Amino acid sequence: MNRLEHAIPAGVIMLVGLWVAWISFTQNPAEAFLFPRLISTIFLTLSIWTFVAAWVKPSEVNATISATTWMNILPGLIIGAICVFWMGKAFGFYTASIITVFTLISYYDPAPHRQISSWIKRILITAGFIAVMYLLFAMLLGVFTPRETLFR
């Protein structure tokens, strides 16, 4: 059971990697998808490697993720899914990223929500993160991101 218990999630991740790679290689214009093709190829390669390793060699780790851990992770997964499947198209890449990062930081930050200094810290971290993303994707890599009203 240990081998199957590790191979099933690895297989699901491998299928997601295959789907992402297929999407990135079938979209046009080709130059707009150069960076996603590179990342999806790496993702697919690592997911295949993980699946084969999970199937061939039994893991020494016998621990599973507890229900408490899942309940801690679940809100972040839901927020991320909302961003990927709805907010990105509705608001654009950078605006959706600002909302998502700020929401995740606000949810997981243990600092009190009644202190103005904690909100200033969250805003500064979000602004710094988005600035780095913008400089990395738009300026350095020249990646095409979904268009929006704030960043063209």
Whether residue 152 is predicted with pLDDT greater than 50 in this model: the reply is no
* Selected residue with higher pLDDT from 100 and 91: 100
Contact 90, 96 (CB under 8 A): yes
Q: How confident is the model over 49-59, as pLDDT tens digits?
A: 988 888 887 66
pLDDT at res. 61: 59
Contact 107, 147 (CB under 8 A): no
Whether residue 32 is predicted with pLDDT greater than 80 in this model: the reply is no
What is the reported pTM?
0.63
